[in-house]
Chains A and B, each alone.
Chain A
Amino acid sequence: MSSKHSVAVIGAGMHPWGKWGRNFVEYGVVAARAALEDAGIAWTDVDFVAGADTIRNGYPGFIAGATFAQALGWSGARVSSSYAACASGVQAIASARAQILAGLSEVALVVGADTTPKGFFKPVGGDRPDDPDWLRFHVLGATNPTYFGLYAQRRKSVYGATDEDFAQIKVKNAAAGVHNPYARYRKEVTIDEVLSSPMVANPLRLLEICATSDGGAAVVLCSVEYAKRKGIANPVTIDGISTVTPTFPNAVIEMPNFATDSWSTVAPNDLTFRASIAHAAYEEAGISPSDVSLAEVYDLSSALELDWYEDIGLCAVGEAEQLLRSGATTLGGRVPVNPSGGLSSFGEAIPAQAIAQVAECTWQLRGQADGHQVEGAKVAVTANQGLFGHGSSVVLSR
């Protein structure tokens, strides 16, 4: 599937997700060293470092590329630092890919890591009535799970999703996560356990809402030619990257907004923003959803995974419940979704998460996902969405 727009992923590494409470730089360095070792590349061979930023860890978090470069030992490599909410990791990957495809970089290291506070994500401190992310908490008490709850209830009312469907997503992802050494939660759960956990944002319960985690992930990217020179004849390649923004009018209510755009004068695009994200990656890779062997999607809530089935084209709108119930998206099914265990098993480490999705797909395509391997995986897709019009999708193949 690789084309002249492809770059090779020759290394992937992670620091296990958890609530370790240490400096995020440590997780990033552990992940970076693991990725370099996996690639068989010396740190000093890296000529470009793309960092994904964290906004909750002070200045070093805002200039993550330089932070990780310094921690690994200044080597003169060029750096970039990206912040794009939940899509930060892929924006960093896109930045590295552009350097490689332009011939400006031979081998690039992409790193994201985070240390997170306990409980709900909350806005950065201070009194900031001009910041919609601050205002939505102050005026509405609208947390992230508020928006997840709205989407989940909408699915129940419009498509007939049941609480058991939502719980089944958690059960499925927890069962996969048991086998992932980098996952934070590695314990099977039952439907009853999910449905008896405390209600948080109706109809979503505590076990259905992704936690916030510490963690780090890294990948080593290079040109396909460079990989071949290194003796890697058949590398995993990134064939498409999407970091598209919405088109006006965005008619779906999204974090951190108080309202949608108005569609009274301009008709909304046929594709919703969330659907447009993977669509652009497929288009760039020249594939269609039917080519996909597995997907890693952003299950910020159990119910949201069902929305993604439709948004990445695994089924038509309104058919996600049916796809889930058929077992197609479970490990061993036709197109497993979140074989890593997903955010359900990881919790979210924002700048690391989209990179972790790509790392998981890399291992899956190499056949190295022990215990949670998707047999015969040829093509993988990732998808995520974050605040303020950010989203990302990556198509990989081998």
Chain B
Amino acid sequence: MAQAPVVEGFFDPSIPALVGTRCTDCATVFFPAERSWCRNPRCASSTFDEITLSTTGTIWSFTDAQYAPPAPYVAADPYVPFAIVAVELADEGIVVLGQAADGVTVADLEVGGRVELVVETLYADADGDKLVWRWRPVREA
């Protein structure tokens, strides 16, 4: 079965890591990638380097979706609730959303806890698996 990211340009499943850009002038990081004009209001640059973002971070907050989100979300049938995590990436100075990994519930999450990026299947259609990035708590050694 073919596998492809559910959205173009947001992550590279082969690493896996989120893909962003860094302004070549002011060094501001953008996720999702900004490729047109720098959005720092005091920077007029329009050139960017593509970068991958940190693959671990700390939980800024979390919640879940106890009811199936409406289309264009493709919900499993029967629906299985999932958790959503807002993750702070310290090096980039950014908070990024993502679903929690399969099987992770809010009971497994705490603000300030460490998570790592994984790639899992969001849904499958006739073309194959649609992949998405997710966050999984890091098991402390």
Selected from A119, A153, A249, A257, the residue in CB contact (under 8 A) with B63 is: A153
By a CB distance below 8 angstroms, the chain B residues around A135 are: 7
Count residues on chain A whose CB falls below 8 Å from chain B CBs.
48
Residues 187-203 of chain A: 1 if any B CB is under 8 Å from the residue's CB, otherwise 0?
00000000000111111
Interface membership of B78, Cβ < 8 A? no
Q: How far is the CA of A129 from the CA of B5 in the complex (A)?
A: 13
Residue among B39, B68, B75, B93 with most chain A CB within 10 A: B93
Smallest beta-carbon distance B135→chain A, Å: 11
Chain A binding surface, main DSSP class:
loop
By a CB distance below 8 angstroms, the chain B residues around A137 are: 69-73
User: Given known contacts A129-B8, A258-B96, A266-B28, is B66 in contact with A120 (CB within 8 Å)?
Assistant: no
Interface membership of B26, Cβ < 8 A? yes
Q: How far is the CA of A262 from the CA of B30 in the complex (A)?
A: 7
Q: How far is the CA of A151 from the CA of B60 in the complex (A)?
A: 10
User: Given known contacts A135-B7, A141-B82, A265-B26, is B69 in contact with A253 (CB within 8 Å)?
Assistant: no
Residues B63 and A149 in contact, CB atoms below 8 Å apart: yes
Interface membership of A323, Cβ < 8 A? no
Q: How far is the CA of A265 from the CA of B6 in the complex (A)?
A: 31
Residue among B28, B41, B82 with most chain A CB within 10 A: B28
Q: How far is the CA of A137 from the CA of B93 in the complex (A)?
A: 24
Residues B7 and A139 in contact, CB atoms below 8 Å apart: yes
Residues B32 and A134 in contact, CB atoms below 8 Å apart: no
Residues B111 and A264 in contact, CB atoms below 8 Å apart: no
Residues A265 and B28 in contact, CB atoms below 8 Å apart: yes
Interface membership of A259, Cβ < 8 A? yes
By a CB distance below 8 angstroms, the chain A residues around B6 are: 138-139
Selected from A127, A138, A258, the residue in CB contact (under 8 A) with B97 is: A258
Residues A264 and B93 in contact, CB atoms below 8 Å apart: yes
Selected from B63, B72, B86, B91, the residue in CB contact (under 8 A) with A264 is: B91
Chain A positions 138-177 with a Cβ under 8 Å from a chain B Cβ: 138-143, 145-146, 149-154, 157-158
Smallest beta-carbon distance B113→chain A, Å: 10
Nearest-neighbor residue (CB-CB) of A155 within chain B: B61
Residue among A120, A139, A265 with most chain B CB within 10 A: A139
Residues A154 and B111 in contact, CB atoms below 8 Å apart: yes
Chain A positions 13-69 with a Cβ under 8 Å from a chain B Cβ: none
Residues A142 and B84 in contact, CB atoms below 8 Å apart: yes
Residues A153 and B93 in contact, CB atoms below 8 Å apart: no
Residues B60 and A154 in contact, CB atoms below 8 Å apart: yes
Chain B positions 4-48 with a Cβ under 8 Å from a chain A Cβ: 6-8, 10, 26-32, 39-42
Interface membership of A263, Cβ < 8 A? yes
Residues B71 and A263 in contact, CB atoms below 8 Å apart: no
Smallest beta-carbon distance B1→chain A, Å: 20
By a CB distance below 8 angstroms, the chain B residues around A74 are: none
Interface membership of A368, Cβ < 8 A? no
Chain A positions 64-80 with a Cβ under 8 Å from a chain B Cβ: none
User: Given known contacts A139-B10, A141-B75, A266-B28, is B70 in contact with A122 (CB within 8 Å)?
Assistant: yes
Residues B86 and A150 in contact, CB atoms below 8 Å apart: yes
Selected from A122, A129, A139, A260, the residue in CB contact (under 8 A) with B94 is: A260
Residues A149 and B64 in contact, CB atoms below 8 Å apart: yes
Residues A263 and B93 in contact, CB atoms below 8 Å apart: yes
Smallest beta-carbon distance B75→chain A, Å: 7
Residues 95-122 of chain A: 1 if any B CB is under 8 Å from the residue's CB, otherwise 0?
0000000000000000000000001101
Selected from A141, A201, A257, the residue in CB contact (under 8 A) with B99 is: A141
Residues A141 and B65 in contact, CB atoms below 8 Å apart: yes
Q: How far is the CA of A249 from the CA of B39 in the complex (A)?
A: 9
User: Given known contacts A135-B7, A158-B111, A259-B97, is B70 in contact with A143 (CB within 8 Å)?
Assistant: yes
Smallest beta-carbon distance A141→chain B, Å: 4
6 A–B contacts from the bound complex (CB under 8 Å): A149-B63, A253-B86, A253-B95, A260-B95, A264-B91, A265-B29
Task: Please give the residue numbers on chain A whose beta carbons come within 8 Å of chain B beta carbons, in ascending order.
Answer: 119-120, 122-123, 127, 129, 134-143, 145-146, 149-154, 157-158, 198-204, 247-249, 251, 253, 257-266
Q: Besides A122-B70, A139-B7, A260-B94, 4 other CB < 8 A contacts? A: A139-B6, A200-B67, A201-B66, A262-B93
- Shortest 5 CB-CB distances between A and B: which pairs? A149-B63, A264-B93, A157-B111, A141-B69, A122-B70
Task: Please give the residue numbers on chain B whose beta carbons come within 8 Å of chain A beta carbons, in ascending order.
Answer: 6-8, 10, 26-32, 39-42, 60-75, 82-84, 86, 91-99, 106, 110-112, 122, 132
